[in-house]
């Protein structure tokens, strides 16, 4: 058989015959690569599993109204994570599939299990279930570990200031355990704001660390008036920071706790002159009392029920609950991970109607231009229509 026209013409090019010969040789010596084509997923799985199968291997009490859950792998392997990252745990409660993000509190240096800590919240649909119903041997699926609330060695200071509130202590526990147990060359001041000592999590462990390690200082700051308490009191504020971590300007500051505390601490740091680049914040979960957030329509109490149209279905949605929750109640599957407005997995398009977007939603410019919202922090304040 003669050469094709293409090869004939290419052969007239300078270097043409040489290139054609190289390709002929390659064709002869190369292996079939098609079978290799679908291996990327398998190569990545040990680092980032699409979904984790977890089994509860131990449960322990900590503080008042909180429990520690150890989660082992149902498949026998847990991917590595960075201290400070979270798991998004899926549950099915009364037939409703939903999920919650929980920071991992165990050290990333051991991966026999991931530890999470669950504290009871006021009307905690999921926390009640985890605290009251779940027992050793129960199984869950989860995604993650994920999140960017972590020590970034390229530009963060080796000196850290951790500001924790309530159950927001959990990512700091992971970071502290890693630094101290692995004897890393870092220095930590941890200020932990709580109502009282009884609800403080991991109090014993943290106090013991502070006694043992000179590069770890720990102060519990109590806001209730408790007779006999000799430690720090009041709301964790700039006075505490300036006194207990006087070298705060040399530190990277990390804040994790309820939204009110989180925002307050950020303002306090800014007042102290800490630049934005030195302040890292973790916002987890949807905001409680969304109707108190600035910009919430004055004529709505939050208890109103609106209609959200999704394709051919119309579902009911309460004003003070994120649209994501309404979708989950209706059994509509939505991709989800952080539930805090950041990761964008639960992104939907708002075709018509009004929603209230809670603070901290990290939208892209294209989202704003074309009406996309993150359903985990978008609240219905009128009838609306969305596209998944």
CB of 144 to other proteins, least distance (A): 14
Query: 371 and 384 in contact (C-beta within 8 Å)?
Result: no
Question: Is there binding between residue 183 and other proteins (CB under 8 A)?
Answer: no
Give the three-class secondary structure for 152. Answer: coil
**Structure token digits, residue 301:** 């109490």
Strands 279-282 and 305-310: unpaired
State which of residues 55, 64, 65, 79 lies at the interface with other proteins (CB under 8 A).
79
**Size of interface with other proteins, in residues (CB under 8 A):** 63
> Could you identify the residue written with the tokens 């526990």?
173
365 interacts with other proteins by CB under 8 A: yes
The strand pairing partners of 232, in sequence order, are 221
Shortest separation between residue 308's beta carbon and other proteins, angstroms = 18
Toward other proteins, which CB reaches closer, 70 or 374?
Answer: 374
Q: By CB under 8 A, is residue 370 in contact with other proteins?
A: yes
Stretch that binds other proteins, among 78-86, 113-121, 207-215, 292-300 (CB under 8 A): 78-86
* C-beta of 47 vs 123, nearer to other proteins: 47
From candidates 168, 347, 355, 381, binder to other proteins by CB under 8 A? 347
Contacts of other proteins in 145-164 (CB under 8 A): 148, 152-155
Backbone angles phi and psi of 232, in degrees to 5: -70, 145
Burial of 118 (0-12, 13-18, 19+ CB in 10 A): buried
Instruction: Report in angstroms how near the CB of residue 360 gets to other proteins at its nearest.
Output: 11
Q: Residue 366 CA to chain centroid, in angstroms? A: 23
CA–CA distance, 111 with 80 (Å, rounded to integer): 7
User: What CA–CA distance (Å, rounded) separates 201 from 197?
Assistant: 9
Q: Which of 294, 280, 305 is nearest to 380 (CA)?
A: 305
Residue 181 binding other proteins, by CB under 8 A:
no
238-to-111, 267, 274 alpha-carbon distances in Å: 37, 9, 11
87, 102 contact by CB (below 8 A) = yes
Specify the residue, 256 or 300, whose C-beta has the smaller distance to other proteins. Answer: 256
Which of 58-66, 79-87, 197-205, 315-323 is the region at the interface with other proteins (rule: CB under 8 A)? 79-87
Asked if 30 touches other proteins (CB under 8 A), the answer is yes
Residues 274-293 that bind other proteins (CB under 8 A): 275-277
Closest CA to 82 of 189, 164, 179, 202: 179
Candidate segments 25-33, 62-70, 287-295, 305-313, binder of other proteins by CB under 8 A: 25-33
Neighbours of 361 (CB within 10 A): 17
Q: Cβ distance 106 to 115 under 8 Å?
A: yes
CB neighbours of residue 90 within 10 Å: 17
Our finding on whether 12 is near other proteins (CB under 8 A) is yes
Residue 240's region, left for phi above 0, alpha for psi from -120 to 50, else beta, is: alpha
Of 55, 332, 357, 362, the residue at the interface with other proteins (CB under 8 A) is 362
Residue 76 in contact with other proteins, rule: CB under 8 A: no
* Near other proteins by CB under 8 A: residue from 22, 133, 181, 224: 22
Among 51, 75, 80, 354, binds other proteins (CB under 8 A): 80
Tell me if 250 contacts other proteins by CB under 8 A: no
The answer to whether residue 135 forms part of the interface with other proteins (CB under 8 A) is no
- Shortest distance, position 110 Cβ to other proteins, whole Å: 11
> Which residues lie across from 222 on neighbouring strands?
194, 233
Residue pair 320/290 in contact (Cβ under 8 Å)? The answer is yes
Contact 220, 231 (CB under 8 A): yes
Residue 16 found at the interface with other proteins (CB under 8 A): yes
Q: Is 2 in the site for other proteins (CB under 8 A)?
A: yes
Name the residue nearer to other proteins (CB basis): 33 or 135. Answer: 33
Which residues contact other proteins (rule: CB under 8 A)? 2-6, 8-16, 19, 22-23, 26-27, 30-41, 43-44, 46-48, 79-80, 82, 148, 152-155, 275-277, 335, 342, 344-347, 362-367, 369-370, 372, 388
């Amino acid at each position: 058989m003669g050469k094709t026209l293409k090869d004939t013409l290419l052969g007239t090019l300078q270097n043409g015959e040489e290139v054609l010969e190289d390709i002929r040789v390659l064709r002869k010596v190369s292996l079939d690569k098609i079978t290799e084509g679908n291996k990327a997923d398998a190569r990545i799985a040990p680092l980032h599993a699409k979904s984790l199968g977890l089994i509860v291997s131990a449960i322990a009490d900590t503080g008042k109204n909180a429990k520690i859950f150890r989660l082992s792998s149902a498949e026998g392997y847990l991917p590595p994570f960075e201290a400070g990252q979270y798991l998004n745990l899926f549950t099915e409660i009364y037939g409703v599939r939903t999920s919650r993000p929980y920071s991992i509190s165990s050290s990333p240096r051991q991966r026999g299990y991931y530890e999470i800590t669950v504290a009871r919240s006021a009307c905690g649909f999921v926390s009640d279930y985890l605290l009251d119903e779940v027992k050793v041997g129960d199984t869950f699926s989860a995604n993650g570990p994920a999140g960017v609330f972590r020590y970034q060695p390229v530009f963060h200071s080796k000196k850290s200031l951790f500001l924790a509130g309530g159950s927001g202590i959990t990512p700091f526990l992971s970071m502290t355990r890693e630094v101290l147990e692995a004897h890393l060359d870092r220095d930590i001041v941890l200020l932990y704001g709580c109502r009282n000592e009884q609800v403080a999590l991991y109090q014993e462990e943290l106090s013991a660390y502070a006694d043992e390690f000179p590069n770890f200082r720990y102060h519990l700051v109590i806001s209730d008036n408790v007779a006999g308490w000799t430690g720090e009191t009041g709301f964790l504020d700039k006075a505490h920071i300036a006194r207990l971590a006087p070298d705060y300007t040399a530190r990277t500051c990390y804040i994790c706790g309820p939204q009110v505390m989180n925002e307050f601490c950020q303002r306090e740091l800014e007042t102290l002159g800490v630049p934005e680049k030195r302040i890292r914040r973790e916002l987890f979960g949807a905001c409680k009392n969304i109707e108190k957030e600035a910009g919430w329509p004055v004529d709505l109490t939050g208890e109103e029920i609106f209609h959200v149209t999704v394709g051919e279905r119309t579902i009911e949605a309460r004003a003070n609950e994120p649209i994501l929750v309404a979708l989950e109640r209706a059994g509509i599957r939505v991709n989800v991970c952080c539930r805090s407005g950041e990761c964008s997995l639960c992104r939907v398009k708002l075709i018509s109607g009004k929603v209230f977007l809670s603070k901290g939603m990290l939208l892209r410019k294209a989202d704003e231009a074309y009406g996309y919202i993150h359903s985990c922090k978008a609240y219905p304040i009128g009838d609306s229509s969305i596209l998944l």
